[in-house]
Structure 1
Amino acid sequence: MTAPALKLTVYGTPGPQGSKNRNAAGALYESSAKVKPWREAVKTAALDALHHDDAWTALADAVWLDVQFSLRRPKHHYGTGKNAGLLKPGAPPYPTGKPDLDKLVRSTQDALKDAGVLADDSVVASLTTSKVFVLWGDALRTPGAVIKVWRLTDFLKEPTP
């Protein structure tokens, strides 16, 4: 299989983008305070990765974006007292509550565009995403995301079996 054009590991709490609130003056603002720090974390990780690649230009052709978000488990998933630190038997294996996966992707794609990874988020022709809890399977050990970007044209060059 073709290697990704770019692979990033971003640490920080993923922040959803998309929901807006109005202040007393009627101005719109992001409802999640996590959006700005998350976008900065993604942008910084991308710029660090691209720092040594003088030939890199923002991808303007079709890409496949794969993102696995690792989220912290809520405290109520754990026992208390002598069971502190142990998952409750009924704790869900996957995060099914907020933040919404599509809103996490939106903030991440915008940060990739701001960093010069993507010419525009409209170049994403294929998207694979998931959200998992930290320390679950191949998830990160702390909140964040693993982001992989492939040029879809690279798959056209592979020999067919």
Structure 2
Amino acid sequence: MGLQTVEFEVCGRPAPQGSKSYKGYRSGKPILAESSPHLAQWRGAVAGAALLAASQEPDAPFDCPVELSVEFRFAMPKVRRRLGHERIPKLSAPDLDKLVRAVGDALQDGQLLASDARIVRLNNVEKWEVTGWTGAIIRVTRWVDIPTDNQKHAQQRNQQGRPKGS
């Protein structure tokens, strides 16, 4: 199995996706909106960086199984800095799974992934940073020798002598 990794950094404030806030009713249906006011800006930053990375990849958008590894970097509160902690895991909100959800959708928006459903393995971490920048280091590793379901079905049709679409 061949592996190819694309890595890039995104500066900004990581924002979660998936928590909804109730905004009222319209036409008898509840109106829900994303709770994070920073989500659009964060997804835009990730999508922009993904678009730049995709422009350097001849096979983008990737339509194969991928592993997504994200290191989220948050500014450490001043109180913790005085305690002498360096880079340590972040154990508070936002939830890691909701941060990853925003990144997966942004990678699709940025045309690096054909679909965020192609993510088959996750390796993610949240960290406090004493110095340096905040944002994320994103690694997308392609499993290039594994055919997708669509490719498998096409191969089966060709082996059976069936025309496409039947």
| TM-score where L is the length of structure 1 | 0.77
- 5+ unaligned residues in a row in structure 1: which ranges? 79-86, 156-161
Q: What code does the residue aligned with 1:147 have?
A: I
Q: Give the structure 1 partner of residue 77 of structure 2.
A: 74
Pairing of 1:1-161 with structure 2 (within 5 A): 4-25=4-25, 26-53=30-57, 55-78=58-81, 87-88=82-83, 93-135=88-130, 141-153=132-144
SS in 2 for 1:21: strand
C-alpha distance in 2 between matches for 1:103 and 1:68: 14
Identify unmatched segments of 5+ residues in structure 2. Answer: 147-166
On the 8 A contact 2:87/2:130 being kept in 1, the answer is no
Q: Across the two proteins, how many residue pairs are aligned to each other?
A: 141
Would you say the 8 A contact 2:3–2:144 is kept in 1?
no
Percentage of pairs with the same residue:
34
- TM-score, with length taken from structure 2: 0.75
Q: Alignment partner of 1:103: what SS?
A: helix
Paired with 1:24 and 1:35, the residues of 2 have a C-alpha distance of: 21
Q: Distance in 2 between matches of 1:73 and 1:90?
A: 9
Quote the RMSD (CA, aligned, Å).
2.4
- Which structure features the higher share of strand residues? 2
